[in-house]
Amino acid sequence: MRLLIFFIAFSSISLFAGTPDSLKTKKWAVGITYSPDFCYRIAYKGKTEAFSSNSEKGKIGFTAGVNLLYRLMDKIGIEFGVLYSTKGQKVNTVAWDSPNGGYYDPAIPNYDEQGTMVEPEKHITYTYKYIEIPLKVNVYVINKRLNVFPSIGCSANIFTGKTTKTKYILADSSPIKTTQNFQRKNIPSTEFALLLGVGLSYDINKNIFVKLEPSYRTFIRPLIDGPVSGTLYSIGANAGVYFNF
């Protein structure tokens, strides 16, 4: 009886001790990832003084796509992929009156009989769309069934278009919404970004693992789009399912 108990205990210890090694035999993994992102920009103060009546804030974007992971060594992973991402910010402009020299024409919108042009309050959302090609290195500081790793890398971001959504708040508080799509407008066709993150991954079995990686992305140079420029960045929680092969 004691011999049977010893055999079962030894078998269980061997099984659990051998599991991490068996999970590391495959060098490649492909994953589908999605990250909800908080997007904003670092503005340049010298260019915003003329727009002090405006208020800016961040917007919600996302990053999603396919990633390929190669395990170079037990402690190192190299990851690259093809992703679609959106970035941008929101700008709110208060209502204001502009003198028009006393000229009045009822056929022209926003003109009144007092010789002023009335600009309504505006809520504008700028969305910049990119195809992102990241390349980063994961360093596994804890390399078991539950892995912990910091990551660093860079990405090439190919500009695919810009959407501007504007909501006008009229004097009677009724809103009017418009949407404009631009392919190019003082926007470089390619931008490079720095990537930083700290992630967790968990091996469900020898073929599948899941990952959660809070990350920070920032463009290297400012985006010049109109009179105000700034460097776009995003903070996200990148989650994905990976398949070893």
Kindly write down the DSSP assignment for every residue of 149-168, as one continuous string. Answer: EEEEEEEEEEEEEEEEEEEE
Global pTM reads 0.78
Is residue 153 in a domain?
A: yes
Question: What pLDDT shows up at residue 225?
Answer: 76
Is residue 14 in a domain?
A: no
Q: What is the largest CA-CA distance in the chain?
A: 106
Is residue 51 in a domain?
A: yes
Is residue 8 in a domain?
A: no
Specify the number of domains making up the chain.
1
Q: What range does the domain containing 220 cover?
A: 26-92+127-244
Handedness of CA 154, 156, 160, 164 (dihedral sign): positive
One pLDDT digit (tens) per residue for the chain, 245 residues: 544 344 334 444 443 444 444 445 689 999 999 999 999 998 765 454 445 567 889 999 999 999 999 999 889 999 999 999 999 999 888 877 666 555 555 555 555 555 566 678 888 999 999 999 999 999 999 988 999 999 999 999 999 999 999 988 876 667 788 888 877 667 889 999 999 999 999 999 999 999 999 999 999 998 877 666 789 999 999 999 999 99
Is residue 41 in a domain?
A: yes
Is residue 158 in a domain?
A: yes
- Domain CATH number, residue 73: 2.40.160.20
